[in-house]
């Protein structure tokens, strides 16, 4: 035997629509979150790459200017001025000015045997320096590391001493008086020709991908929630007005007909599938009324 309709559990059409919308909303959130994270990570890295290239080009321009213009001019005049002779010194001085304006960026010439104590390498810089010394074929490194307590995208290049460097960094007794007076004779000397003595480091801040992705995900989820709320309310109103309410009216009319109350016409005034169903019920009512009249006339 088949179960009658009265014994089956009642399932609301509106509830089914709401459930479908809820599942669609959760699916959109589940898809959007990882997509936003991947897109954010890519955008953060691309922005850091662009900024890093800009800083590297700036440092190379400074050192190129010193080497090609200032140093030859000073040597021709028989003058000595360390920022004019050394691109590293010039870069360090400019980096200090730049850091005052843009403290989140990083420019440094690091060495574990520097004249200037400020050029002592941090932990991450020591690791890069050892990699350059262990493999002289490596001309540049591009890594993510911690500098000054901040995660940065870093470009580093080794600095090898040349014969010209030994004038200031060789035997301290033969170094220019200006150098010895300013920095003393303890560190920054006894370099050997073609020895990796330090590295040039440029770093740009690397935004916290997770934090940025979380912020963007919350914004996206908020927009999705607002959108689905509007859709949810609109569909509920539409379904109740266009489907549920007319169907309840038709069901009530059919119930009255089944109970013998057939004096109330059914006319929804609609020209669609629901209207066709109402019209069929109305024809059935009329047929019953005519049949009842015929039986009553006998």
Domain spans, the chain: 14-32+212-292, 80-207
Tokens of 51: 């900024």
- What pLDDT score does 207 carry? 74
Count Cβ atoms within 10 A of the Cβ of residue 204 and give its class: 0-12 exposed, 13-18 middle, 19 or more buried.
buried
Count Cβ atoms within 10 A of the Cβ of residue 253 and give its class: 0-12 exposed, 13-18 middle, 19 or more buried.
buried
What are the tens digits of pLDDT across the range 219-264?
Answer: 888 888 898 888 888 888 887 887 778 888 888 888 887 777 777 7
Is residue 205 very low, low, confident or very high in pLDDT (cuts 50, 70, 90)?
confident
Taking the CB of residue 159, how many other CB atoms lie within 10 A of it?
A: 20
Give the integer Cα–Cα distance in Å for 252 and 165. Answer: 101
Whether residue 268 contacts residue 246, with contact meaning beta carbons closer than 8 Å, is answered with: yes
Tokens of 145: 């590391």
CATH number of 14-32+212-292: 1.10.8.500
| 177 alpha carbon, distance to own chain's centre | 53
Is residue 9 very low, low, confident or very high in pLDDT (cuts 50, 70, 90)?
low
> By percentage, how much of the chain surpasses pLDDT 70?
94
Tokens of 170: 């060789």
Q: CA of 48: how far to CAs of 17, 120, 253, 274, in Å? A: 46, 25, 71, 61
């Amino acid at each position: 035997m088949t179960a009658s309709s009265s014994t089956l559990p009642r399932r609301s059409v509106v509830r089914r629509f709401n459930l479908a919308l809820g599942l669609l909303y959760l699916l959109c959130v589940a898809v959007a979150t990882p997509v936003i994270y991947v897109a954010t990570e890519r955008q953060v890295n691309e922005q850091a790459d662009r900024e890093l290239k800009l800083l590297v080009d700036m440092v190379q321009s400074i050192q190129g200017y010193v080497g090609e213009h200032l140093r030859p001019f000073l040597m021709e005049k028989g003058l000595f001025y360390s920022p004019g002779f050394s691109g590293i010194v010039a870069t360090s001085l400019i980096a200090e000015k730049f850091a005052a304006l843009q403290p989140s960026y990083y420019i440094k010439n690091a060495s574990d045997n520097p004249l200037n104590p400020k050029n002592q390498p941090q932990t991450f810089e020591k690791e890069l320096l050892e990699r350059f010394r262990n493999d002289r074929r490596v001309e540049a490194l591009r890594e993510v590391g911690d500098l000054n307590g901040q995660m940065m995208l870093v470009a580093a290049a080794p600095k090898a001493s040349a014969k010209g460097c030994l004038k200031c960094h060789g035997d301290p007794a033969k170094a220019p008086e200006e150098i010895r007076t300013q920095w003393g004779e303890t560190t920054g000397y006894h370099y050997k020709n073609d020895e990796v003595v330090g590295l040039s480091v440029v770093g740009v801040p690397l935004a916290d991908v997770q934090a940025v992705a979380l912020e963007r995900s919350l914004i996206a989820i908020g927009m999705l929630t607002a959108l689905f709320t509007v859709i949810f309310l609109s569909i509920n109103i539409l379904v109740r007005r266009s489907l549920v309410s007319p169907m309840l009216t038709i069901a009530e009319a059919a119930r009255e007909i089944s109970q013998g109350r057939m004096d109330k016409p059914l006319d929804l005034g609609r020209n669609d599938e629901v209207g066709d169903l109402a019209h069929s019920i109305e024809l059935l009512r009329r047929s019953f009324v005519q049949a009842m009249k015929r039986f009553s006339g006998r």
